[in-house]
Amino acid sequence: MLGFRDPVADAIGLLRPRTVIGPSLRATGQWALSFDTFLHVRIGGLVRGTCWLVLEGHEPVLLREGDTFMLGNPPPYVLAGTLDASPRPAEQVWAGAEDGFVRIGPESEDDLYLCVGHIAFDERNAALLTDLLPPLVIVHAADPHGGRLAQLIDLLATEVGVAAPGGPLVQNHLAQILLVHMLRAHAGRTDRPTGWLGALNEDGIGAALRAVHADVAHPWNLKELADISHMSRSAFARAFKNHVGVPPLEYLIQWRMNLARDALARDTLSISELARATGYLSESAFSTAFRRVVGSSPAQFRNQARQPQHSTADEG
């Protein structure tokens, strides 16, 4: 049987996040680092000091102590102590890291202290999240969620700075917690995106989404979901599509197929077991739906998934 919790936990479970934390940066004086485009998410924050974040197509943003940022499939960007500094490739500077740190300039009590990490996802499901994220999300220390995020960045930086047993495991979990809090902060803003992430904060639509994720095998129909949302069927269908981007029952089918792809790729259930777990009365009905959404039969997909996968995500 497939396990389900809530939409955010389910999505991150399918994403199979892999985190690479650090090295952290300590810098003083005139400096600037240029970063190439990369896949999925980069996340970070300022433990101390200030710096500029310059993302292609956006106005420069001044980051201060306690501020956190998240970059979703971003174009090239620059981190800089001053806007007039000439950037050098970050990859070259990162290569000289020692004990989890890169230093630019002489050591000082007032130097910048920046902690960054990269979160890569399973390529088959990455779009579940990356399609909903803007290139740049900033949460300032004074914002709602900002204080908690600043604490997480501080904890993460501490873990990077000590060679303690279990350090990589702690870093991985802290990075994922940081990601969830960044998603909450982004979804809670008035300019939140369409899609399931933003819809979770809409009382009626969010209740329907959580119900679907709590029991994906249930034979949901439009009336049941509308009743959960305390709306008429027409009003619910219209509101759901406006917020999520697809009609309710189409979302249900897509989510079932996301779960099915993951289970087939990991070869955890037979096709008949998977059909029942995702709400289909027969293997043939499940196979028809799977082929319509995915473009191949479940058996073909499973056989292809068994072939060696080569990750294209930048692990640096």
pLDDT, position 316: 40
Within this chain, domains 15-187 and 197-305 share the same CATH topology: no
The alpha-carbon radius of gyration of the chain (Å, integer) is 22
Q: How confident is the model at residue 39 (pLDDT cuts 50, 70, 90)?
A: confident
pLDDT in tens, 216-226: 999 999 999 99
In the chain, where the domains are located: 15-187, 197-305
Q: How confident is the model at residue 231 (pLDDT cuts 50, 70, 90)?
A: very high
pLDDT in tens, 106-155: 888 778 999 988 898 988 888 888 888 888 899 999 998 889 999 999 98
pLDDT, position 194: 58
Distance of CA 305 to the CA centre of its chain: 23
> Do 114 and 25 meet the contact criterion of CB atoms below 8 Å apart?
yes
Distance of CA 138 to the CA centre of its chain: 14
Give the alpha-carbon dihedral of 197, 199, 201, 206, to 10 degrees. -110
pTM for the whole structure: 0.77
Tokens representing 299 are 């058996």
User: What mean pLDDT comes out for the span 258-282?
Assistant: 91
- pLDDT score of 285 more than 90: yes
Does 252 or 125 have the greater pLDDT score?
252
Question: Cα separation of 29 and 5, whole Å?
Answer: 48
- pLDDT score of 166 more than 90: no
- DSSP classification of residue 98: B
pLDDT, position 191: 62
Among the CATH numbers 2.60.120.280, 3.40.50.2300, 3.30.1330.60, 2.160.10.10, which is that of 15-187? Answer: 2.60.120.280
Q: Quick one: how many helices (H) and strands (E) in the chain? A: 13, 12
- pLDDT score of 314 more than 50: no
- Residues paired with residue 77 on neighbouring β-strands, in sequence order: 35, 55
Superfamily of domain 197-305: Homeodomain-like (1.10.10.60)
Which of 209, 187, 189 is CA-nearest to residue 198? 187
